[in-house]
Structure 1
Amino acid sequence: MPDYIVRNINLAPSGRLKIDWVRAHMPVLNAIREEFERDKPFDGLRVALSIHLEAKTAYLAEVVQAGGAKVAITGSNPLSTQDDVAAALAAAGLNVYAWYDATGQEYKEHLLHVLDTRPQIVIDDGGDLVNLLHTERKDQAAEVIGGCEETTTGVRRLEALDREGKLLFPMLAVNNAFCKFLFDNRYGTGESAWSGIMRTTNLVVAGKVVVVLGYGWCGKGIAMRAKGLGARVIVCEVDPVRAIEACMDGYQVMNSEQAASQGDVFVTVTGCRDVLRQSHFNKMKDGAILANAGHFDVEINKPELTGLAVERRLARQNVEQYTLKDGRKIYLLAEGRLVNLAAGDGHPAEIMDMSFAIQALSARYIKESAGKMSKKLYRVPEEIDQRVAYLKLKSLGIEIDHLTGEQSKYMNDWQE
């Protein structure tokens, strides 16, 4: 088996510049790397990652490698891999199997190459590695001591496995850690999604009607940033509590069929499929822009959009123009894949510093807890969340108060 499968190993110097840049802006992960280099918590272990392969995730892989692990990595989305970053990791001695714009078959082959390294810990983003370890590569599951899942979509897949009692090894829901979803999902997605949309379209946001479909933590961030950019924001939800929350946050709330005729820009961020479909496309304005910030490219029903179109062409890099029978044009960004990564650089480095610190420490926890955990889905231990938060505050030069002994007693004594 080759040590790596990348598009062009000669791109490594460009990728190394990107990795070095984010490393300089990830102080929490740098502190953890120092510990890992000293303690070698993964010494002799094989660790596999399927994660959006760009500079920040590359640095996470290098931090895990610094802890003594033999690391194999691939992407978690065919359009989010950056070929120069993949080449840089390969040149640094990691097993890398990924390239940009992989076909469906290539993407799967890359995942299987990673599993060919017989990993003992998996770090997943979206659940593709775990899925294979529960289907085609089920025979390898006994070798896996545990793993960590990065994103909402992957956690949902794990929750389904856990409910049915079918998980074959313990998993930590990294996405559900406070220092992940409160910052990564809200501020990271909010900023990076709009960065991807704006750089791809080169159009103004101010004055437009933006429809955000889904008001979870990612949707909250996207709506907040759209409002800050001067857009009028409509939120569509299926959860009545979140709908009330969006209303009280100052957004107009309505169902998606009503919103379809009003929006200039639509952003799906639900984790569900067919959120925008034929009935919506039929009502949209000429020039409507569709973008997805959910993990898989099923939120916007591309087959139905294609079926309505009499012409389909590339209008601009990462912008497909669908011309409908009545002459209206609808624009789909980044093939309906994650717009912040397929058409951008993903979340800012300072945000991913916390998320990947949670990942690194969670992987170490899995190693230290080997044989002590059941085949279940677990929350990230509170002490990991607290540790990352304190490291982040330290990097920002911020000091906070601490409870005195009497205060702590008061807060924990029911008789007071």
Structure 2
Amino acid sequence: MKELVLTTGDQKLNWAGKHMPVLQVIEERFLREKPFKGIKIAVCIHLEAKTARLCEVLQSGGAEVFLAGSNPLSTQDDVAQAIARRGVAVFAKYGCSEDEYLHFLEELIKAEPNIILDDGGDVIHMIHERYPEYIPQVIGGCEETTTGVIRMKARDKAGHLKFPMISVNDAMSKYLFDNRYGTGQSVWTGIMQTTNLLVAGKTVVVAGYGWCGKGVASKAKGLGADVIVTEIDPLKAIEAVMDGFQVMPMKDACPLGDIHVTVTGCCEVISREHFDLLKEGAILTNAGHFNVEVDFEALEKYAVEKREVRKNVMEYTLPGGKRVFLIAEGRLVNLASGDGHPVEIMDTSFALQALCAEYLVNHKLEAGVYDVTEEIDGEVARLKLHTLGFEIDSLTPKQEAYLKSYIV
């Protein structure tokens, strides 16, 4: 038997492709219809196998694709090399400096893209603030994350968004599954494989009870942890209480938590005022897009000593001798310390990206923020059910008429 030898990057990409059946269906149609013929698409998403697979699907539709990583610690060089060999222009490397990261984004913009698929909003920010001369050829873009959507909506509210953006993050089929099940599993996969510690029996503090926080808290509970939730929204806080979790302010949770996970999209969730309150040996992690939720810069200044005790685990000794541990510099733990969301989850999220990019090409939209259409949202869910082997009922004409009538 002849054994085929593939690079690790090709192995990862092929494995992802086999487990993303919705994208396979979309790819087959794109190959026939070529909706992106003559279109340049810039992709700035965590550069690993699932993202590379999305790029292949966009290529199948006729697009010229340019790819950068949205986080220096989530880029997988072997995957970057594999997708580059398949014709995608890649601007990324693992562990690049801040200057190198910004340079890669500049190269992405200078490719003169017509569509921008962003994750966190850095490309959208840069093209508006530093390279407005490249804006006229942009048809529109899509944003993948809560953090990016917050930035995008703020720019639009200020009247500074110059082209249409689709909020992929807010699609029902995105936040119900990607944010809850994807983040829930991948965060704990990243923490456990980085620390090699048991979760059962520990106290976990989850900051933020949005869809991502719900997933992280639920999985922690399933792993046997006692879970505390911190929140600023009374509705989300009462939901956490009804789901069986303790709820309290961060200052009260700090002395109790063995593992802290921030997942808010905000800054300084665990800040200088909290460091002295932390339990000896507390582990700090972040599942939000940027490394500002745990105040990394303040921790660096306040600590009297630091050392790396495991790969991606930094021990900080505070004044008085207390030690706390920060994973992956406070960057997105599921990607900086793991492979990110499960492949099957990203099958639906990246199907949304592909179909929304097609929608932008086929519909001339004014500048502004748009929701994913119900048709696209429903189509992705339908395709996922179909590829999993499930079917559902349809309304009869009589049922449709009944639901539209005010007469019982």
- Residue 381 of structure 1 corresponds to 373
CA distance in 2, matches of 1:23, 1:346: 15
CA distance in 2, matches of 1:306, 1:68: 47
- Residue 6 of structure 1 corresponds to none
CA distance in 1, matches of 2:318, 2:161: 45
Give 1:124's match in structure 2, choosing from 118, 143, 148.
Answer: 118
Aligned residues: 404
Length-normalised TM-score, structure 1? 0.96
- Residue 263 of structure 1 corresponds to 257
CA distance in 2, matches of 1:309, 1:144: 45
Q: CA offsets per residue over residues 170-190 of structure 1, 9 Å max, x none?
A: 010000111111100000000
Give 1:61's match in structure 2, choosing from 44, 55, 58.
Answer: 55
- How far residue 243 of structure 1 moved from its aligned partner, in angstroms, is 0.4
CA distance in 1, matches of 2:275, 2:331: 18
- Residue 90 of structure 2 corresponds to 96
- How far residue 280 of structure 1 moved from its aligned partner, in angstroms, is 1.1
Query: Is 1:200–1:343's contact at 8 Å kept on the other side of the alignment?
Result: yes
Verify: 1:339 aligned to 2:333, yes or no.
yes
Q: CA offsets per residue over residues 284-331 of structure 1, 9 Å max, x none?
A: 111100000000000001122122211100010000000112221100
Secondary structure of the structure 1 residue equivalent to 2:129 = coil
1:275 partner letter: V
CA distance in 2, matches of 1:413, 1:155: 37
Secondary structure of the structure 2 residue equivalent to 1:322 = strand
Give 1:166's match in structure 2, choosing from 157, 160, 165.
Answer: 160
Query: Is 1:12–1:91's contact at 8 Å kept on the other side of the alignment?
Result: no
Query: Is 2:110–2:134's contact at 8 Å kept on the other side of the alignment?
Result: no
- How far residue 279 of structure 1 moved from its aligned partner, in angstroms, is 1.6
Correspondence list, 1:71-90, <5 A = 71-90=65-84
- How far residue 13 of structure 1 moved from its aligned partner, in angstroms, is 2.1
Verify: 1:307 aligned to 2:269, yes or no.
no
Verify: 1:292 aligned to 2:286, yes or no.
yes
Q: CA offsets per residue over residues 254-298 of structure 1, 9 Å max, x none?
A: 000000111000000000000001221101111100000000000
- Residue 273 of structure 2 corresponds to 279
CA distance in 2, matches of 1:361, 1:253: 39
CA distance in 1, matches of 2:354, 2:110: 22
CA distance in 2, matches of 1:391, 1:23: 16
Q: CA offsets per residue over residues 5-59 of structure 1, 9 Å max, x none?
A: xxxxxx9821111000010000001100001111000001111000000000000
- Residue 359 of structure 1 corresponds to 353
Secondary structure of the structure 2 residue equivalent to 1:134 = helix
- Residue 392 of structure 1 corresponds to 384
- Residue 245 of structure 1 corresponds to 239
1:205 partner letter: V
- How far residue 167 of structure 1 moved from its aligned partner, in angstroms, is 1.0
Secondary structure of the structure 2 residue equivalent to 1:402 = coil
Q: CA offsets per residue over residues 175-222 of structure 1, 9 Å max, x none?
A: 011111110000000000000000000000000000000000000000
Give 2:404's match in structure 1, choosing from 388, 408, 412.
Answer: 412
CA distance in 2, matches of 1:78, 1:414: 56
Secondary structure of the structure 2 residue equivalent to 1:142 = coil
Query: Is 1:197–1:339's contact at 8 Å kept on the other side of the alignment?
Result: yes
Correspondence list, 1:134-213, <5 A = 134-213=128-207
- Residue 5 of structure 1 corresponds to none
Q: Which runs of 4+ in 1 moved over 3 A?
A: none
CA distance in 1, matches of 2:233, 2:181: 22
CA distance in 2, matches of 1:120, 1:211: 42
- How far residue 348 of structure 1 moved from its aligned partner, in angstroms, is 0.2
* Alignment RMSD: 1.0
Query: Is 2:303–2:316's contact at 8 Å kept on the other side of the alignment?
Result: yes
Give 1:45's match in structure 2, choosing from 39, 45, 49.
Answer: 39
Query: Is 1:12–1:85's contact at 8 Å kept on the other side of the alignment?
Result: no
- How far residue 374 of structure 1 moved from its aligned partner, in angstroms, is 1.1
Q: CA offsets per residue over residues 214-256 of structure 1, 9 Å max, x none?
A: 0000000000000000000000000111000000010000000
CA distance in 1, matches of 2:359, 2:350: 14
Length-normalised TM-score, structure 2? 0.98
Q: CA offsets per residue over residues 84-105 of structure 1, 9 Å max, x none?
A: 0000111111100000001000
2:96 partner letter: A
* Structure 1, unpaired ranges of 5+: 1-10
Between the aligned residues of both structures, percent identity stands at: 56
CA distance in 2, matches of 1:172, 1:414: 35
